[in-house]
Amino acid sequence: MSKTAGIVAGVIVVAGALASAGAWYTGTRLEGVLRDSIDNANQQFKGALGRDSRMTLELVSLDRSTFSSVAHYSLKVHDENLSAGNQDVEFLFIDHIEHGPIPFSRLKTLNLVPVMALSQFELEKNPTTEKWFAVTKGVAPLHGTISVGYDRAVAGTLQLTPLDIKDGGDTVSFSGLTVDFEGTAEAEKIKAVGNLDNLQLDLASEDQPLKIELKGLGFDTGGTKGKSGFYLGHTNVKFDNLAVDVAGNPPIVLKSFANTNLMQEEGGNLAGQINYDLGMINFNGNDVGSASMAWKFNNFDVTATQALYQLYQTRIMPQQQAAALADRPFELKLSQADQEWANAELQKLLAGKPHIELSKLGLKTTNGESHMSLAVDLADPGKLDQQGSADLGKNAISQLDARLSLSKAMMKDLSILQARITYGDQLDAKTMDEQGNAAADMVAGMATALQIAKVEGDNVVSSLHYAANTVDFNGQKMPLQQFIDMVTSQVGQLGGGEGGQ
């Protein structure tokens, strides 16, 4: 044997010995890591489903050897919508774990980056999931891989298996879902990207048959947990096409939808942006137009926002759910202590002078575009329990700006669309065009006559600015109470007009 060959052989032996030692070391640490991860997951689950629902993850068993281990987990869910007879619903998982530093499956692909473990998990068949397994013809409906680094950072892929179901007159077709994710220890930083090609539901209900088709769904989210406990970063969601057809109602198709969200922390305050864009709304086979909505907010005190969110989760949301289940109106009931706590946190929030802005709400048709905007600056109104609702609202708003612009061409497009849907081919194009012009002129005339808007070119516009108890409405300044009296009078005229017809 040459010296070179001997050196190579020696390196291989040493590398093998180190890998074996590393694998043994990983195996001894594995159970502790798993239990820590499960404890963290159960902390995250608390409150995720509401006060009367819960999820619990448990390590059932761990069979450990030098180079690999097999773990079994149980995920129990208690929820009125899932649990029968107040019993928990149980999902079982099996996890084949290859020990690091270089798991064999990564070695085969020449991925030599050291990791603590490589997990390959899948859902197991039990009474809860046996029907799901029957549909996927024995293939695990849910499975994935996770690599765990020595710093306990994770990265992996989660997959839902494609399936086709035919049950009587009902049909479900699902192309599968893939989610790639990664995160640091304690989930301080997270990232996930998911894609779903197609989902079709055709439910032949006797009461109301329903068809839904979703195409090209994707999402991308990533962020860092801030001091507030909220994740700061972005979330983007899109789909190419969503068609909904409910028997007895016109079919609706939404095309090229995109939602983007951004959350930030600035000097102990939360700030964010939320945007929605819709490329086309199709109603009953007719293109209506594109739509958009954009929100902004800032100066939301972190601790007060967190406290009020906790109040909503633990006190308000359970009451909302109970009212919905009982099919009765929702009436919020808080104890004296909870009300005082809510008032204190709300006052702290308002003291930060939060700003909320609907920067755009728009609809664009073939020939015109309408939009509105609204911006509100809030302020500390003083003791919340010592003011009437009118004074409280006035004192809590330091400034308000609103603007509405209605395109007469857009109103004409909508009028023609309504006529086409209502009368079909019974009206000729000229008649519909004339009716469209008349409808747009009628809206403009009414708005002008009631002094709630004015006509500027092809648009009917209205603007309002409020600050320091003074309202500027379409260029006319007046005290707030005079503005309220004017609006009340106009509403009364409209109500009287309708009643007399």
Conformational region of residue 195, where left means phi above 0, alpha means psi within -120 to 50, and beta covers everything else: beta
Please answer whether residues 212 and 244 qualify as being in contact, where contact means their C-beta atoms are separated by less than 8 angstroms: yes
Looking at 161, 183, 202, the residue that finishes a domain is 161
Residue 374, in any domain of the structure: no
Looking at 161, 187, 222, the residue that finishes a domain is 161
* Residues 35-53 pLDDT 10s: 877 787 777 666 555 555 6
- Residue 477 belongs to domain spanning: 389-499
| More confidently predicted of 461 and 319 | 461
Looking at 161, 179, 199, the residue that finishes a domain is 161
Q: What is the pTM of this model?
A: 0.83
- Residue appearing with tokens 């108890």: 469
Give the other-Cβ count within 10 Å of 140's Cβ: 19
What is 204-273 written as a DSSP string?
Answer: --SS--EEEEEEEEEEEEEEEE-TTSSEEEEEEEEEEEEEEEETTS--EEEEEEEEEEEEEEETTEEEEE
* Residues 394-404 pLDDT 10s: 788 999 999 99
Residue 261, in any domain of the structure: no
* Residues 272-320 pLDDT 10s: 999 999 999 999 999 999 999 999 999 999 999 989 988 888 888 888 8
- Of the listed ranges 214-228, 417-431, 447-461, the one predicted with least confidence: 417-431
What is the count of structural domains for the chain?
A: 2
Residue 460, in any domain of the structure: yes
- Residue appearing with tokens 């190419």: 240
Q: Look at residues 196, 194, 195, 144 and name the one whose alpha carbon lies nearest to residue 173.
A: 196
Q: Look at residues 166, 171, 229 and name the one whose alpha carbon lies nearest to residue 199.
A: 171
Please answer whether residues 108 and 30 qualify as being in contact, where contact means their C-beta atoms are separated by less than 8 angstroms: no
Residue 141, in any domain of the structure: yes
Residue 262, in any domain of the structure: no
Strands 459-467, 397-407: pairing kind: antiparallel
Residue 245, in any domain of the structure: no
Phi then psi for residue 274, to 5 deg, are -135, 125
Residue 349: its pLDDT value, please? 93
Residue 378, in any domain of the structure: no
Residue 441, in any domain of the structure: yes
Please answer whether residues 117 and 31 qualify as being in contact, where contact means their C-beta atoms are separated by less than 8 angstroms: no
SS3 at position 366 = coil
Cα separation, 496 vs 436, whole angstroms: 27
